[in-house]
Structure 1
Amino acid sequence: MTALASGAPPAEQTRTADPPGPLEAFLRDARLDDAETTALWAAMGDATRGGRRMRPALARAAYAAFGGTHTAAVEHVGDAIELLHAAFVMHDDVIDNDQVRRGRPNVAGTFTSRGLAAGAGASAAQGYGRAAGILAGDLALVAATRLVATTPAPPATVARLLTLLDDAVTESAAGELRDVRFALGVDDPSLADVLAVGELKTAAYSFCLPLCAGGILAGVDDATVASLDRLGRLLGIAFQLHDDLLGVFGDERATGKSTLSDLREGKLTVLVAHARTTAVWPRLARHVGDPDLTVAAARQARRLLESSGSRRFVEDLVHRHLDAAHAEAHRAGLPDDALAGVASLIDHRGWAA
């Protein structure tokens, strides 16, 4: 039974106690010439450990659903996609000026502390940390490309995978840049514009890439790959919308995700974009983007997002995308039970009581 076919989400099926990251074999072969390089590679390795490994699970699910039997090939590509994810995360942390990831220092945070310990001032140490984050992301991106290029598969299949990887990186970069531009506050993006950013940033590489890669490795034709791509976009948008809801209405104890950060940062999610079109926006606007937002003020913001209908609008949008994903899965030729557990990708255990 595939990860998509079972009742538990891929995150739970693949999680183990501190599994080795996909960089570890690469790290073992690296020629480390000095303490700085050694520290950078160590921080990179740490950045790939933990997490849900949802993307390899999706690749395996699609591969198995279409009759794939060469497990080594799909595991190889799954590791490549995890490295790509690590690269984007490290670059994202630099863009967002974040120093912590999963409750511990990220690459930038590790090297900022390293700079401070060496006697540098705060500004210089932060610059050192940013440089390390950029370089680590670059190295992980190259490692991901190298892994795809060395997939144990026929040359024509590897060529298709490399094109797929190139498309995913291009879309993700475009989505990230649009997201950063939205934060400038100089545009008036529509709901469709905000949805498009989620599709580019999240769906393209986290859902379309692994699903299509699994299909390609199993030998499906271009029409089926196109259908898997549509399926990935539908699932990815639903996942991002649900994640945005958890960022405001979730139970922090269950999700580990702050319910204040998105509001404090003024993150332009579909939830906020919809609220901007409603009568509550003049009262809500002062809370969105307030770096000093209190728990009480956040509670008021949630009430406004509910009374405006924005929360219900996004919840309905999640379900519409999931329904469309089920229909697309059938068009792609996936077995009837292949999406039995897909709704568990977007479960409700993380909601606040």
Structure 2
Amino acid sequence: MRDPAVGVDDVTAMFDARLTEILAHRRERSRAFSAPYAQLWDALERMASGGKKVRPRLLLDAHAALGGTEERAAVDAACAIELLHVALVIHDDVIDRDLVRRGEMNITGRFASEALLRGAPRREAHSWGEASALLAGDLMLTLAHSVLAGLDVDEPRRRAALDIFDETVFESAAGEHQDVWLSLRLESATADDVLAMADRKTAAYSFQAPLMLAAVLAGAPPAVLEQLTVIARRIGVIYQLRDDVLGVFGDERETGKSTFGDLREGKETLLVSYARSDPAWATVAPYFGDEGMSASEGESLRRVIEESGAPLFVESLISERCAEVHRLIRDSQLPAPMVDQLVDLVSTCGARTS
């Protein structure tokens, strides 16, 4: 039960300590196996300790705003949602063939580089790096599930939390699968296709899952769960639309990623979907999705996207959707602290620069 003396800062400290404890336990267990396996857990611990912790903070803040009293269970659920995020990020990097994350080598890059330095052929070294990353993602995924399965709450809430996790992974995988399919460019992607993909890939695990877990642990009534589901999905799409704009026109020093990365990967976004209708697109279409795209070709592609009016279109859609979600939040029957939190969250997602 809740200790009245426990404040927001205390719960955040509890989360940091608990996540460190969970990972340290696995890291120590790995020492009984091979040295590379221990190195893999070292890498996972470093990776999980970084980042902005947006999702666990959302869960913990929402649990408090909804009057929740199960701080320890909420902290464990926050750890699980962060471990899920790490798992999906690792797998996403493998799918996108990225070697860098947050400005430094990711697990694929780190393990492949070490193998190269030790004399392994390039192809085998890269396969080793990818295999290490795939296994790392799997380990984080199962660890997240294990943490949720051990929540110290009554059985109905634990089962509800596990059902949320199962549906989140199922739907996020569908969104990622659709993202890869769209990048093949075997058929034209409509704006609706892109928005549906963003809804499944980003909204489900980044916003709906944290809010649903918080509400379930707080014992919120079904009406609150329904309202939060609708609001969370809309916030998730806003977040992804902003992410797509930053991926092409953001400040690399703030985002930590190249503004040519999405273009080289052939990532289907609303920017690209809109720009395709511009006659000038045909002049740069061969560059899109070309892993060997040069900087000058990338600049040309980015210029065509900008001059097509795509950024203005997406910005207007972000503004429109932010206003819509603000109305939904203010018209809801959610507690005042929850309303304030969500209003701030929408504004942050719509205007973020990193």
- For the aligned pair, the TM-score class normalised by the smaller chain equals 0.7 to 0.9
Aligned to 2:351: 347
- After superposition, the C-alpha distances for 1:129-174 in whole angstroms (9 at most, x for unaligned) are 1111111111111100011111122111111010000000001111
For residues 187 and 80 of structure 2, the distance between their equivalents in structure 1, rounded to whole angstroms, comes to 36
For residues 117 and 18 of structure 2, the distance between their equivalents in structure 1, rounded to whole angstroms, comes to 29
**2:18, 2:75 within 8 Å by CA — same for their partners in 1?**
no
For residues 117 and 284 of structure 1, the distance between their equivalents in structure 2, rounded to whole angstroms, comes to 38
1:269 aligns with 2:272: no
For residues 170 and 64 of structure 2, the distance between their equivalents in structure 1, rounded to whole angstroms, comes to 28
1:338 aligns with 2:341: yes
Aligned to 1:133: 133
Which range moved further: 250-259 or 130-139?
250-259
Which range moved further: 323-332 or 253-262?
323-332
Q: Using CA pairs below 8 Å that are at least 6 residues apart, which structure has the higher relative contact order?
A: 1
For residues 190 and 90 of structure 1, the distance between their equivalents in structure 2, rounded to whole angstroms, comes to 28
TM-align CA RMSD? 2.3
1:86 aligns with 2:89: no
Q: Which amino acid aligns with 2:255?
A: T
**Any gaps of 5 or more consecutive residues in structure 2?**
1-11
| Partner-residue secondary structure (3-state), 1:151 | coil
Aligned to 1:3: none
- After superposition, the C-alpha distances for 1:292-340 in whole angstroms (9 at most, x for unaligned) are 4444444443343233221111111112222222233232514242334
For residues 156 and 263 of structure 2, the distance between their equivalents in structure 1, rounded to whole angstroms, comes to 47
Q: CA deviation at 1:36?
A: 2.7
Q: Which amino acid aligns with 1:137?
A: G
Q: Which amino acid aligns with 2:153?
A: A
**1:21, 1:45 within 8 Å by CA — same for their partners in 2?**
no
For residues 44 and 240 of structure 1, the distance between their equivalents in structure 2, rounded to whole angstroms, comes to 25
**2:183, 2:268 within 8 Å by CA — same for their partners in 1?**
yes
- After superposition, the C-alpha distances for 1:48-86 in whole angstroms (9 at most, x for unaligned) are 121010001111222122111332221111110000011
Aligned to 2:279: 279
Which range moved further: 87-96 or 300-309?
300-309
| Partner-residue secondary structure (3-state), 1:341 | helix
Aligned to 1:24: 23
1:39-118 to structure 2, matched below 5 A, reads: 39-118=39-118
For residues 37 and 273 of structure 1, the distance between their equivalents in structure 2, rounded to whole angstroms, comes to 43
For residues 18 and 93 of structure 2, the distance between their equivalents in structure 1, rounded to whole angstroms, comes to 22
Aligned to 2:233: 233
Residues 33, 25 of structure 1: alpha-carbon distance in 2 compared, 3 angstrom cutoff:
closer
Residues 19, 319 of structure 1: alpha-carbon distance in 2 compared, 3 angstrom cutoff:
farther
Residues 225, 20 of structure 1: alpha-carbon distance in 2 compared, 3 angstrom cutoff:
closer
Q: Which amino acid aligns with 2:205?
A: Y
Which range moved further: 47-56 or 272-281?
272-281
Q: Which amino acid aligns with 1:275?
A: A
For residues 29 and 68 of structure 1, the distance between their equivalents in structure 2, rounded to whole angstroms, comes to 33
1:305 aligns with 2:308: no
For residues 67 and 18 of structure 2, the distance between their equivalents in structure 1, rounded to whole angstroms, comes to 28
TM-score (norm 2): 0.87
Q: Which amino acid aligns with 1:183?
A: S
Aligned to 2:259: 259
Aligned to 1:4: none
Aligned to 2:7: none
Q: Which amino acid aligns with 1:30?
A: R
Q: CA deviation at 1:284?
A: 4.1
1:220 aligns with 2:220: yes
- After superposition, the C-alpha distances for 1:243-262 in whole angstroms (9 at most, x for unaligned) are 11011111222322321111
Aligned to 2:9: none
